[in-house]
Chains A and B, each alone.
Chain A
Amino acid sequence: MNIEFKNINKHFGAVHANADIDFNINSGTIYGILGENGAGKSTLMKILSGFIHPDSGEILLDGQQVRIDSPADAIKFGIGMLHQDPLDFPPMLVIDNFIVGQGGKFLLSHKTVINEFQELQDQFGFSLDPYTYVDALTVGERQQLEILRLLWLGAEVLILDEPTTGISVQQKEKLFAALKVLAKQGKTIIFVSHKLEDVEIMCDKVAILRKGQLVGEVVAPYNINQLVEMMFGKQIVINEPKSLVTEEIVFELDNLCIEQYPITIENVHFRMRAGEVIGLAGMEGSGQDVLLRACAGLLRPVSGRVIVNEKDLTGKTYHDFMRHGVAFLPASKLEEGLVPELTLAEHFTLVTSHKKQLFIDKPFFHDKTKQKIDDYRIVGQPETPVEALSGGNQQRASLSMLKDSLSIILLEHPTRGLDIESAIYMWDKLKERCAGCTSIFFISADLEEIIRYSDRILVFFSGHVSDPQDSSKISLEQLGQMIGGKGWDRTLTDEETYEAITQP
């Protein structure tokens, strides 16, 4: 299906999120939409998929002007959108999720549907079991399910919003292969991303948005530097980070065993030095998150000890860990990190432990918030409720709320969903902390990020934890194999591992 955007405009308050967007997408192409956070990509896609209405402008499908009032309308026109967070029903069966959006027929033959489901997934080499529950699937599998569902509903256009976030390398390859097949069949694929490497291998043509405006369109093959310049309006230089490791041991896991169904992690010995950065690599659900939460005091280990600054905190609560200089930044900001409906100023009031009078000194906290907003370049006001901030700004806000002197910061996916500039900024700030002798322990699905920023790497494979790998001695390919369960022959016995770590 050919899609034409004609002078699309959309305002959110004072923000001109889409300004006179005007371009065409031809059927059978994989079309990339590039831009940093807040450039207007999502807005444009939400307009196309009926979630929001443009203030002015037209959309033409195969030359016909259409009015798309709701997502249900969009799918009737053959437009399906795959969201960054899958919009499915986790407590339901895969097959029920598959059926759920289907309109019209009241009675369904399960058998026919299952046959169609199998046929469809065979085309792409997916292997989803229709009778498992959706909450047992990984993000990548949920994405596959959603693609199948949209195709089954008759989607001719698939919009994918940051589809490679949070899925494994293997799933990414599968996804890309499936998309290529679909494009060959004549379907239109719109690929929204800020990851240049994905866009580079996938897209036939890209449109670049910046601050709500269409900067230009580029046809493959691409010059990456040119794309970056178009996205940000300037060249971006990535500095190689320096290692800031000291000799002082700040954190120790002693023979730690943790169980969190279905993951069991056994006998982790590990010592971390002040200023060190440790990356936890592994496919989603391999146990990294379990270990990280145990390090924060959010999960009680079955046996073993967690030692922070020579104090045994095993079995203590998260708040005890906080008092001893441990901070935890979870991945889902609005569920576990920031309180929805509370403003930035209210957050800073909550996290400030000194100034404990009965009444809130509002001018004081207003000024303090203003200062933090400037320091961390958060786009917002002290009165802005946190859910109104963009993902990147929520991440910055969370970072800015950390106490000044910390021993260790535990992070889940610190740069997930951030554009290059924001990600670089995030790491600059974290490295500043390292210079102040804070250690960083982080999970990421982005292996390049792990290799670039870590001093040492722990690799996870279904609950097994590797001995720490020196990041300067491991290649991207080796790491990719290890998270897939290969190349583990070098694993030492527990005693040997312990020796190796204690004599860095």
Chain B
Amino acid sequence: MKQSRNRSLSILFQFGGLILSLGFVTVILLLVDANPIQAFSLIWQGAFGNPTRIANVVVAWVPLALVTCGVLATFTAGLWNIGIEGQITLGAIFTTGVIRLFLNTSVNPVLVIIIAVLAGVVGGILWAMLAGVLKVFGGVNEIFGGLGLNFIATALNIGLIFGAWSRPGVASMSGTEPFPEIYWLPTVGSFRFSWYSIALTLIGLVVIYFLLQNTHFGLKLKAVGKGIKSAYRLGIPTWQYMMLAFLVCGLFAGLAGALQVVAVYHRLIPAISSGYGFMGMMIGMLINYQAIWVAPVALFFAALNIGGIQLPIIMKLDSTLSGVMQGSLVLFILLMQGVQQRVLGKK
């Protein structure tokens, strides 16, 4: 009975955090002389106003949910995989590279897409393992290693777009030459989302949920994350498990990058990771590493992202406002968790 009371209290506190962050954003809107109600309703309209917009929310949800799944694996092992942005980028680069290899061959396009997506997954894994190797064998904190690897991945991406893989004649920020339509993941009607991406994401959500909640592997990751020395003493090969956490995270990030190429952009673009990696980490913290919440919270963030596009168009507000909302939401909810612990802990 006490537990259920605690749980409802906890929900109350989380809800308080939500209210506070809404209040905070309202204050900011008032400060810039904008009508908050209009802004919020624009975001709502922008996200769910018509079927195309809903479809766009789903398009943003796919990489966000995948990346968050990956981040949960590393968070569980006590690792801050900041390098996830680079892992998404490498996934996209590998996928693009494979499709380019097969562009003028007679290989079945379906097979090409499958190989390309697998290659993307491998790319993400390799980049993540690199951060892991630096951490485990080089003693480089995964935050710094990951940050460095992000820069290298971005440089590599830009280098390819403007160099080796540039469009004939003009190298441009709009990316590489789009692939012929046979190499696109089929989308639904005139919308931009693909059932295949959604299916892969749903599988990913189920896999990460069971992996972390119900398997020996997940429990060992958790032990490594909560107390690495004790875990070692209890017989868990700790560095191997840290590498496996990176592997799982890289897999999801690489898949997200690959799907961005084959299902959304059909080419490599400079901002292919679109900040989804960092956003995934925010969601991970927000949901307190509970896999069950990935899908809905990622959907909420995706809606804010897509809905936020309307703000500059109609109200001439900066589009970063949706970022401010996401950031303040995370901050206030974490703050309320702290407050809750203080209030419940002391008495």
Annotate A335-367 by CB proximity to B: 1 below 8 A, 0 otherwise: 111111110001101110100111110100000
B residues in contact with A341, CB < 8 Å? 226
Q: How far is the CA of A319 from the CA of B219 in the complex (A)?
A: 19
Q: A53-B347, A339-B223 are in contact. Are A359 and B214 (CB under 8 A)?
A: yes
A189 to chain B, nearest CB (A): 28
B residues in contact with A328, CB < 8 Å? 233
Asked whether any CB of chain A lies closer than 8 Å to the CB of B237, the reply is yes
Point out the residue from B215, B222, B233, B346 that lies within 8 Å of A342, measured CB to CB: B222
B residues in contact with A52, CB < 8 Å? 346
Query: How many B residues have CB within 8 A of the partner chain?
Result: 23
Asked whether any CB of chain A lies closer than 8 Å to the CB of B232, the reply is yes
Asked whether any CB of chain A lies closer than 8 Å to the CB of B101, the reply is no
Asked whether any CB of chain A lies closer than 8 Å to the CB of B342, the reply is no
Q: A319-B235, A347-B234, A350-B234 are in contact. Are A340 and B227 (CB under 8 A)?
A: yes
Asked whether any CB of chain A lies closer than 8 Å to the CB of B210, the reply is yes
A residues in contact with B235, CB < 8 Å? 319, 322, 350-351, 353
Are A360 and B222 neighbours in the complex by a CB distance under 8 Å? Answer: no
Are A351 and B210 neighbours in the complex by a CB distance under 8 Å? Answer: no
Asked whether any CB of chain A lies closer than 8 Å to the CB of B147, the reply is no
Are B347 and A356 neighbours in the complex by a CB distance under 8 Å? Answer: no
B234 to chain A, nearest CB (A): 5
Are B229 and A335 neighbours in the complex by a CB distance under 8 Å? Answer: yes
A223 to chain B, nearest CB (A): 41
A342 to chain B, nearest CB (A): 6
Asked whether any CB of chain B lies closer than 8 Å to the CB of A401, the reply is yes
Annotate A359-390 by CB proximity to B: 1 below 8 A, 0 otherwise: 11010000000000000000000000000000
Are A359 and B220 neighbours in the complex by a CB distance under 8 Å? Answer: no
A residues in contact with B2, CB < 8 Å? 13
B242 to chain A, nearest CB (A): 15
B residues in contact with A346, CB < 8 Å? 219, 222-223
Asked whether any CB of chain B lies closer than 8 Å to the CB of A330, the reply is yes
Are A338 and B230 neighbours in the complex by a CB distance under 8 Å? Answer: yes
Asked whether any CB of chain A lies closer than 8 Å to the CB of B316, the reply is no
24 pairs from A and B in contact (CB 8 Å cutoff): A52-B346, A53-B346, A319-B235, A322-B235, A328-B233, A334-B227, A338-B227, A339-B226, A339-B227, A339-B230, A340-B227, A342-B219, A342-B227, A347-B234, A349-B216, A349-B219, A350-B231, A350-B235, A351-B234, A351-B235, A356-B216, A358-B217, A359-B210, A362-B214
Q: Which 5 A-B pairs have the closest CB atoms?
A: A339-B227, A339-B230, A339-B223, A336-B229, A339-B226
Interface residues of A (CB under 8 A from B): 13, 52-53, 318-319, 322, 328, 330, 334-342, 346-347, 349-351, 353, 356-360, 362, 401
